[in-house]
Structure 1
Amino acid sequence: MNWGHKIILVFVIFAAGILTLVTRSMRTKIDMVTKDYYSEELKYQEVIEGRNNANALSAPVEVSQPAETVNISMPHELIGQTLNGTITFYRPSDSGKDFEVPLQPDNSGNQTVGRDKFVRGNYRVKIRWEMNNKPYYQEQVLHIN
């Protein structure tokens, strides 16, 4: 084989490699944090106010995972109050595993979510609620075993 054929062979192998990389990159799934990013950014001032209001509470909302449930415990000043809100379980690695439940604590200030809704891994728990026309917001990282 002469040097001309070797050069052509190198170019063909290089082109095949580039086509393989382009094909793989086009098939890679990319999850966005939110589908409606712009409107969420405009509402971010509510998140800032909500965090400040939540930090003013006597204790933060606790998220734990005893046994086969995930437990959300409200601080004592929120027990018995009328709360309107949601709990979002955001999974950074796969947006298809995200889900949301309404915030409905019982008379003792606890709410449970079954572990059957979760897949092992990390979740970011985003708790938004409103009480007396004041927004509250808290985030916490949760690792499901």
Structure 2
Amino acid sequence: MKINWGTAIVLVFIGFISFILYFVVKMNTNTNYEHDLVTEDYYKQELAFQNEINAEKNSKALRKDIIVKKTAKGLVISFPEDKNYSDISGTISLYRPSNKKLDFEIPISLSASELIIEDKNLLEGRWNITIDWKYDNISYLYKKSLTY
């Protein structure tokens, strides 16, 4: 049987489309290739974005901002010493871009001006830390990306 050039082009197109569709179906059905959103309530967070901008401005206006450093004990978060640590409230969110299951949140409850997050909670790799805290009804926001 002889195949003319028109039939050959159609067969190549069908083969190429089949190849692409195979990978699209495989990527959508295989659980190894999860493609989650950064957050589940994305649109709700976008509506509160101006509050986040204002809180970051408040944080940058401080004489001393929060200091985050890695030590042998774990991750040490030092709050400004000119603030009364017992009046500070809020949450610390640790977000792992590579694995949603490792994300966690810690409420801020201070007995000193420092808070320690132990090594057992943090695996090696990249983490995004967000500290959303309040002092005297003023919101502050600290964001940092770190490699642990």
Partner Cα distance (2:85, 2:73) in 1: 26
Specify the alignment match of 1:66 in structure 2. 71
Matches within 5 A, 1:1-145: 2-3=2-3, 10=12, 13-27=15-29, 28-107=33-112, 109-144=113-148
- Structure 1 pair 11–39 and aligned structure 2 pair: CA distance change class (3 A): closer
Alignment TM-score, normalising by the size of structure 2: 0.83
Alignment TM-score, normalising by the size of structure 1: 0.85
* Unaligned ranges ≥5, structure 2: none
Match of 2:90, as an amino acid? G
Of 18-27 and 93-102, more deviation after overlay is shown by 18-27
Q: Which has the higher contact order (CA 8 A, sep 6+)?
A: 1
List structure 1 segments (4+ residues) > 6 angstroms apart after TM superposition: 4-9
* Unaligned ranges ≥5, structure 1: none
Q: How many residues align?
A: 143
Match of 2:42, as an amino acid? Y
- Structure 1 pair 14–45 and aligned structure 2 pair: CA distance change class (3 A): closer
State the superposition RMSD in angstroms. Answer: 2.2
Q: Is the 8 A contact 1:72 1:110 kept in 2?
A: yes
